[in-house]
A and B are shown apart, each in its own frame.
Chain A
Amino acid sequence: GAVVSQHPSWVICKSGTSVKIECRSLDFQATTMFWYRQFPKQSLMLMATSNEGSKATYEQGVEKDKFLINHASLTLSTLTVTSAHPEDSSFYICSARALSGSSYNEQFFGPGTRLTVL
């Protein structure tokens, strides 16, 4: 199956700093990428949908100025958590939809990034 990578796999930062998480589709192109977050013992919650070359669409309750999403190419999307606070500590997971090939329109997930804000 198609591979999606995330970097870093985990990060610890101080309150007030910004953290950037990268999401890459390694062997396929993706016009659409999705960002989810998951709190302990809870399900994945969709944060935003990003399309290459255009602004992301955020879900209700997700602050677009706090969670900056850039989808600059067909294989890379970044999520920047600005001025992070302890309540932003979570497991952030990206997902990419295949543009073509045998996996056309399927949604593949990265391994996740665990963010801990002190």
Chain B
Amino acid sequence: DAKTTQPTSMDCAEGRAANLPCNHSTISGNEYVYWYRQIHSQGPQYIIHGLKNNETNEMASLIITEDRKSSTLILPHATLRDTAVYYCIVRVNSGNTPLVFGKGTRLSVIA
């Protein structure tokens, strides 16, 4: 079972920042927070991951609360091509542990 809780859907205006929340209150000390997205009829695409520090890359920023029980994925300037289902996943970063997907958040970017 997925260990995260995300809103079912969100809308965002094109050009604005999209902030996608995720609750992971039972996260263990050795589990990372991963974000993937899936555009319709494609395989999931890696976005970003982190352990406890905030992270930023060319796609997004990841803000993790100090207690690590929740996080927020930020797409700074959403475009129509960012419309997708966004999955927040917690997983240990070792061994053969696979990514287990929950229901994710369907983000619709509106022109």
Interface string of B68-111 (1 = CB under 8 A from A): 00000000000000000001000001101011111110000000
Contact B42 A49 (CB under 8 A): no
User: How many Å lie between the Cα of A106 and that of B49 in the bound state?
Assistant: 10
Contact B46 A112 (CB under 8 A): no
Contact B43 A111 (CB under 8 A): yes
Contact A44 B44 (CB under 8 A): yes
Binding site for B on A (CB under 8 A): 1, 4, 6, 32, 34, 36, 43-46, 49, 51, 91, 93, 95, 97, 105-112, 114
| Prevailing SS type, chain B contact patch | loop
| Prevailing SS type, chain A contact patch | strand
Interface string of B36-49 (1 = CB under 8 A from A): 10100111111000
Q: Contacts A43-B103, A43-B104, A105-B93; is A93 near B98 (CB within 8 Å)?
A: no
Contact B41 A112 (CB under 8 A): yes
Q: Contacts A49-B96, A95-B99; is A114 near B41 (CB within 8 Å)?
A: yes
Further contacts, 4 of them, CB under 8 A, given A44-B44, A93-B44: A36-B101, A43-B87, A110-B43, A112-B43
